Structure 1
């Protein structure tokens, strides 16, 4: 497996077990995780450090219920570009809009697909009308408002041979 730094990283079953366990609970102590996986806490520490240096593990995040903080609108935006060669330029501009939380370069109908989270419809309207419309290279957009998020989960990571 190629790490972020371009160096080859050899991951074994324990590395994948550590990643899977910590994706479920990043607050678990290295000692408790070591007990669960039948290795020492020091081994866990060394493995996590190796995974961080390779760019595979990029820190931990707080899992927040955004609805309870007043963010009531989740929408997805299909973005049509005038030319696909404008992707990098447009992506740079879209990154400046804090309400856009995810952006993908896609095949199919859209050149790009973005996820946007807003407090209300007025904020969504502002982003769509005032922010996106001024970005050169965007031909048009199509917006889908999420009515309900049924589930979200982390990917199940395993070694390639499993």
Structure 2
């Protein structure tokens, strides 16, 4: 990736709806040249997708929790991950160094729903224990990193 590719990625992180014409204007290339660069960034896996950023409160998902999971020593990691993927309440999952094997972010509408998620996790084969922290509010998340400076 060169400096122009990095600038294109940063511009799209700020607004994924920018037109090729607007991207071209900002990086000093033609629209077809920018279109070709974006296609290459997509095929190389640099750009993984385009998403709508929805306010969780507005769609009834006002409770956010971070749940640390300790995996059983004999458990198969792929089986645990498959079970976690099957839980729509879990938005993200990170493999961790340390005592906890995974850290997951879950969103639900109520504390009672969070309780049900935790109970399901604790009954999941391969999970030895959980530790849950409830977020009181979200100050920011998914902030794009500056890659051109």
Does TM, normalized by the shorter one, top 0.5? Answer: yes
Which residues of structure 2 form unaligned runs of 5+? none
Provide the rounded CA distance (Å) in 2 between the counterparts of 1:84 and 1:48.
Answer: 44
Provide the rounded CA distance (Å) in 2 between the counterparts of 1:102 and 1:84.
Answer: 24
Shift of 1:157: 2.1
Which residues of structure 1 form unaligned runs of 5+? 1-10
Provide the rounded CA distance (Å) in 2 between the counterparts of 1:126 and 1:90.
Answer: 18
Shift of 1:134: 2.3
Distance 1:14 1:44, change over 3 A: same
* 1:113-128 equivalences in 2 (<5 Å): 113-128=103-118
Runs of 4+ in 1 over 3 A off after TM superposition: none
Structure 2 residue aligned with 1:80: 70
Aligned residue among 86, 90, 96 for 2:86: 96
1:36 corresponds to 2:32? no
> Is residue 75–residue 126 contact of structure 2 (8 Å, CA) maintained in 1?
no
Name the SS of the counterpart of 1:42 in structure 2.
helix
Structure 1 residue aligned with 2:140: 151
Aligned residues: 148
Name the SS of the counterpart of 1:64 in structure 2.
coil
Provide the rounded CA distance (Å) in 2 between the counterparts of 1:44 and 1:64.
Answer: 28
Name the SS of the counterpart of 1:98 in structure 2.
coil
Aligned residue among 30, 39, 54 for 1:49: 39
Structure 2 residue aligned with 1:5: none
Name the SS of the counterpart of 1:52 in structure 2.
helix
Provide the rounded CA distance (Å) in 1 between the counterparts of 2:111 and 2:4.
Answer: 46
> Is residue 105–residue 112 contact of structure 1 (8 Å, CA) maintained in 2?
yes
Provide the rounded CA distance (Å) in 2 between the counterparts of 1:47 and 1:67.
Answer: 36
Provide the rounded CA distance (Å) in 1 between the counterparts of 2:10 and 2:35.
Answer: 15
